[in-house]
Structure 1
Amino acid sequence: MNRANLVLHARSSIERGSKSFARASKLFSKQTRERAWLLYYWCRACDDLADGQDHGHGMSTVHKPVKTIAAMRMMTTRAHGGEQTGNPPFDAFGVVAQECHIPKYFADDMIDGFALDARGWRPGTEEDLFQYCYHVAGAVGCMMAVVMGVSARDQEVLDRACDLGLAFQLANIARDVAEDAQAGRCYLPKNWLAQAGIDPDHILDSAHRDALVGLVNRLCDLAGEYEASARVGATSLPFRSRWAVLAAAGIYGDIARAISQSNGASLERRIYTSKGKKLGWIVKAFGQALVNSARRDRQGLWTRARITSLA
């Protein structure tokens, strides 16, 4: 496919896979918007391959997960090097990687997160949880920052971009606790579960409900902290990119806030936010982008400098 066709497919992918991101992406300039779609297309495809899903829905067993991850790495490496793979999402990544000079280690870091899932890994501590969130979402935030024109050497802004990815993933985990448990997965740290008296293999047992709701709310509180930090990084972006990032932060942040306010309802049904609230954040983010005055230090927050092997 040529670039124009890849962009069309990428647009279709983001509209199917994430209405929140699709809506926010329309605030970017045309060039940045297309590049964001191309990057999303590849990220979504990798996630679906790892989880046996279709645009984030219908998780199923991946029968040869190690081979799946190996193929993902191989096609990503080829695409990043400028080769045509014949696989549209990977060729889309190749286009945006070449145009924006995305460092390959960010792509490798993301795939490392899917490799953890492939072997049934679970976090033992909060530190493990943050490292996992970095791999599957924080690294994506860093790549998106590069797409928006941030230098790969600007570590301070990349840390803030990573924070937004962490916030999104913490909200995802909070939203999907029940769905993940039914699929045999759990991203709540083992030491959190032990402290709450929850059997890690039966977290949905009704006897644990109140304690589990407390842990879900703990995730939502953390998501809020990292969302607030990410907003500071947005001040370094061009206006339209800043507007889009602040809108996405608000729209996705509302998911965590809705979960926290649901009193455990997120364990029975998937939490969504309304179209009206999404549109409201687009308006609100416009004003925030104009003022551009967010200030907050990162003291006490997890940082990419603490990454170690989770093997």
Structure 2
Amino acid sequence: MSIATEPMRPPHACADREELAALAEDTIAKGSKSFAAAARLFSPEMRRSAMMLYAWCRHCDDVIDGQQLGFSRRPVAEMREPMQRLGELAIDTLRALDGDTALHPAYLSVADVAHRHGLPRALLIEHLEGYRMDVDETRYETIEETLGYCYRVAGVVGVMMAIIMGVKRESVLDRASDLGIAFQLTNIARDIVDDARAGRVYVPAEWLSEAGLEASDLANPARKGDVAKLAARLVDHAEPYYRSAFLGLSGLPARSAWAVATAHGVYRQIGLDVKAKGPQSFGTRVSTSRAAKLRHLFLGAVKVVVTRVPLPLKRPQTLWTRRRRRPADAPRSPGDRRIRP
């Protein structure tokens, strides 16, 4: 992946950062309680930036899904065609990066964060590529293709969060990508049924074939035992990415590492619970209790202590790895369609 390094013009002075941060915090409180719990551990400045980046991600997700904070549906009459919505997201994001302030606060927030921390705009566009894959109702033949989707919708967010934390080492950014991929594999495992009902299938076709399933079977209660096995397989596939991300904690400042370690534990627990519940989790949304979050808050601190000494272990070469750089004139592979605002 080629990361553009062109300078970004800062948002105009009329965009009040404290107000944007307050709006972002309210968004997180309503849209992601797990992230909100972990974000409390960040330093005040890091917390503001993390929340403002998340506000943009949440806004993009809601626009594409026609939802509000991931829940209630917007009236159909109010929604444009999905591809039009995606194009507007890309256009307005780039407009905000270039200094336009007559936009939704989510765009102003991400522009502020990008300018303040030097986020390459190519990473933002890469994230929007994940939404394009949803809009196109892309189906995935192999687990490697599914992992490519996971990177775009979550791994690249991990990379951006690490950059906000001051990380510059590519090896640590790879571990941040691994954590985002692990999170997304957990989400896919938890939401197989709901996604299938919405016409989205992220389980690779190879796995479906091996299980004797069609995509339409994923929402069929009569096949919930087989669907549970697929969910367990996804949870197992996430494990090496969680392990890799754990080793990356040593490359983060201690306070940020505590927040990331807590999120690491909470999300991983969701996957383990999905696997443990088996067929009983069919069509339900597994989440962690307050007590479990507090337990992982404590365990997160332990993880930070353990990883304060840099570990010499190399990242396994078998893990899916983001492309770090690609020459600007390199040919694109067939089907590599980019968003062109």
Give the TM-score normalised by the residue count of structure 2: 0.86
| 2:180 corresponds to 1:162 | no
Q: Which of the residues 303, 317, 320 maps onto 1:302?
A: 320
SS of residue matched to 2:278: coil
| 2:120 corresponds to 1:103 | yes
**Contact 2:92-2:103 within 8 A present in 1 as well:** no
TM-aligned CA distance change 1:107 to 1:245, over 3 Å = same
**Contact 1:160-1:233 within 8 A present in 2 as well:** yes
Amino acid at match of 2:315: D
| 2:257 corresponds to 1:257 | no
CA shift, 1:77, in A, is 0.8
Q: Give the whole-Å Cα distance in 2 for the aligned partners of 1:73 and 1:25.
A: 27
**Contact 1:232-1:296 within 8 A present in 2 as well:** no
Q: Which of the residues 15, 27, 47 maps onto 2:29?
A: 15
Larger Rg: 2
**Contact 2:192-2:218 within 8 A present in 1 as well:** no
| 2:226 corresponds to 1:211 | yes
CA shift, 1:183, in A, is 1.0
Runs (4+) off by over 3 Å: 58-63, 293-296, 306-311
SS of residue matched to 2:319: coil
Higher relative contact order structure (alpha carbons within 8 Å, sequence separation ≥ 6): 2
Q: Give the whole-Å Cα distance in 2 for the aligned partners of 1:66 and 1:72.
A: 10
| 2:245 corresponds to 1:230 | yes
Amino acid at match of 1:25: A
Q: Give the whole-Å Cα distance in 2 for the aligned partners of 1:220 and 1:170.
A: 7
- 5 Å matches for 1:140-219? 140-151=157-168, 154-219=169-234
Q: Give the whole-Å Cα distance in 2 for the aligned partners of 1:92 and 1:206.
A: 42
**Contact 2:179-2:241 within 8 A present in 1 as well:** yes
Deviations 1:235-276 (A, max 9, x none): 111110111111110011110111010112221311011101
Q: Give the whole-Å Cα distance in 2 for the aligned partners of 1:183 and 1:59.
A: 13
Q: Give the whole-Å Cα distance in 1 for the aligned partners of 2:80 and 2:101.
A: 27
Aligned length: 309
How much is the aligned-residue C-alpha RMSD, in angstroms?
A: 1.8
Q: Give the whole-Å Cα distance in 1 for the aligned partners of 2:180 and 2:186.
A: 10
| 2:65 corresponds to 1:51 | yes
Give the TM-score normalised by the residue count of structure 1: 0.94
Amino acid at match of 1:298: P
Amino acid at match of 2:179: L
- 5 Å matches for 1:55-70? 55-58=69-72, 63-70=80-87
- 1:112 is aligned to 129
Q: Give the whole-Å Cα distance in 1 for the aligned partners of 2:221 and 2:298.
A: 41
Q: Give the whole-Å Cα distance in 1 for the aligned partners of 2:152 and 2:50.
A: 18
CA shift, 1:125, in A, is 1.2
CA shift, 1:20, in A, is 0.7
Gaps of 5+ in 1: none
